[in-house]
Each structure stands twice: as structure tokens, then as C-alpha cells.
A and B are shown apart, each in its own frame.
Chain A
């Protein structure tokens, strides 16, 4: 594998350089709408069924969705839809 490129930081370096940005995390105490994204490997649904039950118990809304195949990244349309409808995503179960 080729090494990544090293560049010099053009900013005033006030923040930690953490690479590609992550989203704002969920607020701790609020119930959220969480998408469970099944990668479609066998047995993942059993795992996610239980996760769904547990999240609902904790006061979250849950939406179930699935990738067309586990062999490729999710289609951009699917990701956009999920991002629009939900506050957070759990993708499972990669083995």
C-alpha cells in the first residue's frame, strides 16, 4: 500500500488535527431516531433484532434498513436518505 501524503498545516493550529471531520455526536439524554443498517451477512438480522428491541426499551425510535449487498459500500442515495431521516446509524454485523 502506498503511504499517504504528508502536508503542512496551513492553520493557526488552535485545534487538534483529527483528519476528516466527524459529525456532531448525539445529545446524551434525548431519545433519537436511530437507523439500523444491515449489511446483509447471514445472522446479522438476529443481532439487529435484539439491538432494536433494546434501543426501543431505552426510548429511541428505530428504523430498519439494509444494503443491497455487503460486498460494496452502501449506495449514495441510500446513505443520503438515511442521513435525512435519522439522527444516527448503527451498521452491523461485519464478520
Chain B
């Protein structure tokens, strides 16, 4: 997850809004890391943990549930 935060922040430096999607096991870690990286508002959104044991259909449902939030973070 922390590599992802760095990626997203570097893309922002290249003038490209970027959002990380991570499992909600990482909410607190993402807050801490973003602050330590110097930008508390790194765009990020979370899906229910765990991910690995979900069926394909469950993962698609997760995607449908989160897509509007993901796009909203790129627009705001």
C-alpha cells in the first residue's frame, strides 16, 4: 500500500490526478503515511477487507459499489 501512495503522489507531481484503491485494513496506515509523505490529502479510497478470497462476482460488485467514489475523488 505504501508503494501505491508514493506512486499516486509522484503522478500528482506530473500534473495527473491519481487515486489509490486499497483494502480498508490500511485506512489508518494510509493516513499516517500520507502525512509523513507531506501530503495528507493523497487521493485514496477503500474497499472491504479481505479481497483475496472473494469470488469474481463479489469483486465485480465491489467495483460497482466504489466506482463513483473513485471518480469523484479525481474530480474534486
Contacts and interface: CB of A to CB of B under 8 A. Distances in A.
Q: Interface size class for chain A? A: 35 or more
Interface of A: 1, 4, 18-28, 32, 34, 37, 39, 42-43, 46-51, 54-55, 58, 67, 70-74, 76, 79-80, 82-83, 86-95
A43 B10 contact: no
Contact of B36 (A4, A18, A80): A4
Interface residues of B, number: 49
B18 A90 contact: yes
Contacts of A55: 67, 71
B13 A95 contact: no
Contact of A18 (B11, B13, B41): B41
